[in-house]
Amino acid sequence: MNQPLTMSAPSAEPFQCTPLPIGWLVEGYRIRHLVARGGFSFVYQAVNRSGEVFALKEYFPHGFVKREDREIEPTVLPDKEQAFWYGMKCFFEEGRTLAQIRHPNVIRVCDLLRAHETVYLVMAFEEGRNLQHYFHAKRGRVSEPFLRALALRLLSALRAVHAHRLLHLDLKPANVILRHDGQPVILDFGAARHGIAHELAWQRPMYTPGYAPPELVAGQHEAIGPWSDLYALGAILFAGMTGKPPPKAEERQECDTVPEQLQALADRYSESLRTLTETLLARDPLARPQSAYAVYKRLRDEGTVTLSARISDAAKEHIAAPGVDQADAPAPTSMTERTAAHSPAAAHQPAL
């Protein structure tokens, strides 16, 4: 999981939690280095016997297990066995579902491994620019053509994900990478973590403030659905326009400033985009669109921005225009921004 936002580890780490050593072989994948770590996993860059590069995501719930230097297998802590094994089941099942999804804007899971008393996901190693970094650099002045092109791609991806009865539940700019060819890729699904938290009745927050819908924040498990991911998409659009996420869901219950903030952007963004964003950010799940396709169709059919304008502006801002083959679209004008290998917001790895 990308840090530094609220996605907490299962508990504090009183024990040592050491990643696997460089050079270690996991079922044919040799570890090159640690890319990132989060509350439930380590992510490594690894190569197979053919020299192909992958991301290897190890199920390692910090606070449930420990691993000392020179140890390979995690040791489950006393009284954490139920949580560890249930979490492993959720982690594996989510990976198995993702492995069935073949979509250009969803992280590709290539294999699932059982080794060293835990499980691993073998994923495509994505390189590109982190959307959170991009928004930060723009300081809330992301162009409307870019946001529309981005939204259409993400909606297409969410439609594929939801069709497999899977939710993301942690969609945010830090979990989206813009490839060199301009395609956005959704990373780091949070449904397994949410399922673990619900099953084990954890009180710790398992969401990112501002991007999490009210039903997720309130723990209303029965009210969570595809519309919950659409709220997060609305929050991404809001962040692109304003330079910051919307107020926390609980703050909006007391005083909702989202409509006022969007109205203040009337000189820069069309009414249709602002209205759509506000609708996606509706506090009541029933007031939001109920499917990704409904929003996709609405955006596609509005015709506020012509296709040619989307291609031109989106290419300048390093994102592919929806419905346009990359061979026909202008090439992006800049390459990736790399960050330190251990940075939790590293721009070249699947987030944890």
CATH number for 40: 3.30.200.20
Last residue of a domain, one of 124, 157, 172: 124
- Which stretches in the chain have pLDDT values below 70? 1-14, 191-206, 303-352
* CA separation, residue 206 to residues 40, 87, 202, 218 (Å): 11, 14, 9, 11
In a domain, 229, yes or no: yes
The answer to whether residues 86 and 72 touch, using CB atoms and an 8 Å cutoff, is: no
Tell me, yes or no, whether 161 and 252 share the same domain.
yes
In a domain, 20, yes or no: no
Tell me, yes or no, whether 311 and 254 share the same domain.
yes
Q: Give the CATH number of the domain where residue 268 resides.
A: 1.10.510.10
Tell me, yes or no, whether 119 and 134 share the same domain.
no
In a domain, 185, yes or no: yes
Give the per-residue pLDDT at 332: 31
Tell me, yes or no, whether 105 and 149 share the same domain.
no
Tell me, yes or no, whether 116 and 150 share the same domain.
no
Give the per-residue pLDDT at 83: 87
Q: What Rg value do the Cα atoms of the chain yield, rounded?
A: 20
Tell me, yes or no, whether 216 and 105 share the same domain.
no
Question: Distance from first CA to last CA of the chain, Å, rounded?
Answer: 3
Tell me, yes or no, whether 117 and 142 share the same domain.
no
Question: Rounded distance, CA 159 to CA 261, Å?
Answer: 29
Last residue of a domain, one of 124, 151, 172: 124
Domain that holds residue 198: 130-316
How many Cβ atoms from other residues are within 10 Å of residue 164's Cβ? 13
Question: Rounded distance, CA 232 to CA 224, Å?
Answer: 12
Give the per-residue pLDDT at 188: 84
In a domain, 331, yes or no: no
In a domain, 325, yes or no: no
**Is the entire prediction scored with pTM above 0.85?**
no
What are the residues whose beta carbons fall under 8 Å from the beta carbon of 188, sequence distance 6 or more?
1, 2, 107, 170, 175, 350, 351, 352
Question: Rounded distance, CA 171 to CA 241, Å?
Answer: 17
DSSP label at residue 17: B
DSSP label at residue 43: E
> How many structural domains does the chain have?
2
Tell me, yes or no, whether 233 and 196 share the same domain.
yes
* Tokens, residue 199: 């099953």
Tell me, yes or no, whether 178 and 90 share the same domain.
no
In a domain, 339, yes or no: no
* Tokens, residue 148: 């529309």
Tell me, yes or no, whether 77 and 223 share the same domain.
no
Tell me, yes or no, whether 112 and 139 share the same domain.
no
In a domain, 37, yes or no: yes
DSSP label at residue 148: H
Give the per-residue pLDDT at 121: 97
Tell me, yes or no, whether 90 and 171 share the same domain.
no
Question: Rounded distance, CA 336 to CA 345, Å?
Answer: 14
* Identity of residue 126: E
In a domain, 284, yes or no: yes
